[in-house]
Amino acid sequence: MEIKHTALAGTLESSDIQFTLSKGDSGVEINLDSQVEKQFGKQIRKVITDLLAEYGIENVKVRAVDKGALDCTIKARLIAAIQRATDTKNQPNWEVLG
């Protein structure tokens, strides 16, 4: 799937994460800002890359500002951002969500 335009999801409040997805042309570029980068940076990046792969998104710029979100929150916010950025808000991808 292709990113059609920039989209945002999530907030900057505690235990949440804010994603901004925009068009890219050199693979998946993740720019992560997190206070728990040292402890969980690798895990957060894995959740992001795995989910993007499931959606078949190959080129994208991901800006993530993490405020200590759990994996399920990260997934939920990223799915929202993906669906907004790909104009598929009304066509949930059940296989990924299942």
Partner 1 sequence: METTINLKDPYYFKQWQQLIQSEGLFIENLDDITETIGIYENDKLIATGSYYENVLKYLAIDPNYQGGNTFNKLVSTLINQLATDNIFHIFVFTKPQYMQSFEYLGFNVIAQNDFSALLETGDYSIDQYIEELPKVEGKKISAIVMNANPFTLGHRYLIEQASQNSDFVYVFVVNQDVSLFKMSERMQLIKEGTKDLTNIKVVNGGQYMVSFVTFPSYFIKSRTDVIDYQTALDAQVFKRIAQALHITKRFVGDEPYSQTTEIYNQTMQKVLPPEVELEILDRKEVGQDIISATKVRQAISDNDLATVKKYVPETTYTFIKENIQTLLRRIHDGN
> Does 73 engage in binding with partner 1 (CB under 8 A)?
no
Determine the Cα–Cα distance for residues 7 and 24; give it in Å rounded to an integer. Answer: 13
> Does 60 engage in binding with partner 1 (CB under 8 A)?
no
> Does 67 engage in binding with partner 1 (CB under 8 A)?
yes
Q: Are 71 and 47 in contact (CB under 8 A)?
A: yes
In angstroms, what is the minimal distance from the CB of 83 to partner 1?
Answer: 14
Query: Residue 75 or residue 84: which is nearer to partner 1 going by CB?
Result: 84
**Dihedral over alpha carbons 85, 86, 88, 92 (to 10 degrees):** -90
Binding interface with partner 1 (CB under 8 A): 5-8, 11-14, 18, 20, 22, 33, 61, 63, 65, 67
